[in-house]
Amino acid sequence: GKGLCYILDGMLSVFRDGKIIELETEKEKQGDDASDGEFFKNAAAEFDTDIRFTYCTEFIIGRSAGCERDPQELRTFLETIGDCVLVVADEEIIKVHVHTENPGKALEAALGFGQLLKVKVDNMKEQHRKAAEQAKQAPAKAEAAEELQPAEPSQEIGFVAVAAGDGLESLFKDLGCTHVVSGGQTMNPS
């Protein structure tokens, strides 16, 4: 989004006074990066305090044939042990999402409505810790990427083909293609 703002700002500048926006100096650029890093640290610290319930628990219940219980009962119970409760039901299944400290209680309550078809429990605090760790490592990776130099071409001209299947890949290589990209079922390698 920030790039689009620069483009639109540049267009507006040219339309208003015929001037093209000058590029940021290296010092200004580093200042922006530092403020972005501070923003993330502050947001991460705030998010840590916002995680009231550790486990994001999602499951699908296959409704028992004779079970006439109202899924609203399950929702009411889940609201007593967690937040962000979402219960969606039809005649065959009930889909549930809840943030809780005790996913076992949520799953046990679900068994009163039928069989568990699918269960997923994620530790949101651990996910957040990993995301924060990766964000701290991102500037180091960016610096390493800036130091890389492009490789010299191994040949003057190369051909790239998109093919589906090993047979066509082999055929294109035999015809002299430098690289063959698998297009997959949709033939859309992008």
Q: Output the average pLDDT for the chain.
A: 80
In this structure, the answer to whether residues 93 and 65 fall within a common structural domain is: yes
Whether 66 shows a pLDDT value over 90: the answer reads no
Task: Map residue 181 onto helix, strand or coil.
Answer: strand
Mean pLDDT across 113-124: 95
Does residue 115 belong to any structural domain of this protein? yes
Average pLDDT (62-83) is 92
69 lies in the same domain as 15: no
| 141 found inside a domain | no
Residue 141 confidence (pLDDT): 64
Query: Does 70 score more than 60 pLDDT?
Result: yes
Does residue 24 sit within a domain? Answer: yes
- Give the Cα-Cα-Cα angle 72, 62, 96 (nearest 5 degrees): 45
Examine the domain organization and report whether 60 and 107 are in the same domain. yes
Q: What is the pLDDT of residue 115?
A: 95
Alpha-carbon gap, residue 22 to 33, rounded angstroms: 19
State yes or no: pLDDT of 186 exceeds 80: no
For the chain, the residue count is 190
Whether 79 shows a pLDDT value over 60: the answer reads yes
User: If you average pLDDT over residues 175-189, what whole number do you get?
Assistant: 78
Residues 60 and 44 both lie in one domain:
no
Q: Note down the domain range covering 166.
A: 154-190
Residue 32 has pLDDT above 60, yes or no: no
Tokens at 15, concatenated: 């339309």
Based on the fold, state whether residues 67 and 45 are members of the same structural domain: no
Please tell me whether residues 79 and 110 are part of one structural domain: yes
Does 38 reside within a domain? yes
Any domain includes 134: no
Entry pTM: 0.50
Our count of domains for the chain comes to 3
pLDDT in tens, 125-167: 998 888 888 888 776 666 665 666 666 767 778 888 888 788 8
Q: Is the pLDDT of residue 104 over 90?
A: yes
Q: Does 167 or 28 have the greater pLDDT score?
A: 167
pLDDT for 38 equals 59
Which one, of 72, 49, 69, 78, lies nearest residue 113 by Cα? 69
Residue 28, pLDDT above cutoff 60: no
Q: What percent of the chain has pLDDT over 90?
A: 35
